[in-house]
Every structure is written in C-alpha cells, then in structure tokens.
C-alpha cells in the first residue's frame, strides 16, 4: 500500500516536471522568435512569420507594435515585437529602419 502511494506521488511529480519543462521550452521558443524577427528587421529584411507545421494550425504568433518616436529618428522607429508559442508570451523592444516594418507600418 505504501509503495503504491509513493509510486503515485512520484508519477505526479514527474508529470508536473514535464509540464514545467514544456512551458519553459515554449517560453524560450517565443523569445527566440521575437529575437529573430527583431534581428531580421534591424538588418533591413522582412521578419519571418511562423508557418504551419505538417498541416496543423500554427501555435505561434508574432505581432508588431510601433512605439512613439522622437522627430530626430525619422528613418528609424522603435517597435515592440510580441511572440507567443503555445500560449507562452515573450516581448522585445528594438530600433529598426522604418522601411523594414511589416505591411509598411506598425499594427
């Protein structure tokens, strides 16, 4: 009886640990996507939007928000990149050339 209880407790602990690892992996992936998009835009390229994998709906999302900018930065703009992977968000702010904004401007 005691062995069964200990086995059940150990099983719950392992499952909880696995869920925690999955959440951390999703958070890291969201941060990497936001970093990648920001670096692409800082290099003057269009950011890569997460695509569907194997016909499944994408669980990733990128959003770009233009932030208020001072007049002396007319060729550059501050943006916030929000990335979400499986419900785990990450957000980064960076300065990018205005012409690298997706769809010609912020959303």
Indicate the number of domains in the chain. 1
Do the domain assignments include residue 71? yes
Q: What is residue 53's DSSP assignment?
A: B
Instruction: Answer whether residue 101 shows pLDDT above 90.
Output: no
What is the per-residue pLDDT for 98? 83
Do the domain assignments include residue 55? yes
Domain extent, residue 86, equals 2-102
Do the domain assignments include residue 23? yes
What is the per-residue pLDDT for 58? 61
Each residue's pLDDT tens digit, 31-67: 999 999 999 999 988 887 666 555 555 678 899 988 8
Do the domain assignments include residue 44? yes
* Residue 33, C-beta contacts closer than 8 angstroms, at least 6 positions apart: 50, 60, 62, 83, 85, 90
What are the DSSP calls for 56-104, one per residue?
BPP-EEEEEEEPP--GGGTTEEEEEEEEEETTEEEEEEEEEEGGGSGGG
What is the per-residue pLDDT for 67? 86
Do the domain assignments include residue 77? yes
Predicted TM-score (pTM) above 0.75? no
Each residue's pLDDT tens digit, 66-96: 888 666 767 888 899 999 999 999 999 999 8
Do the domain assignments include residue 107? no
């Amino acid at each position: 009886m005691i062995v069964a209880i200990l086995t059940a407790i150990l099983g719950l602990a392992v499952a909880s640990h696995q869920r925690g690892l999955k959440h951390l992996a999703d958070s890291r992936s969201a941060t990497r996507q936001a970093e990648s998009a920001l670096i692409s835009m800082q290099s003057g390229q269009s950011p890569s939007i997460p695509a569907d994998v194997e016909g499944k709906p994408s669980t990733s999302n990128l959003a770009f928000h233009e932030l208020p900018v001072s007049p002396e930065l007319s060729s550059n703009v501050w943006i916030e990149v929000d990335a979400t992977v499986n419900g785990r968000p990450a957000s980064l702010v960076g300065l990018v050339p205005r012409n690298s904004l997706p769809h010609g401007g912020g959303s």
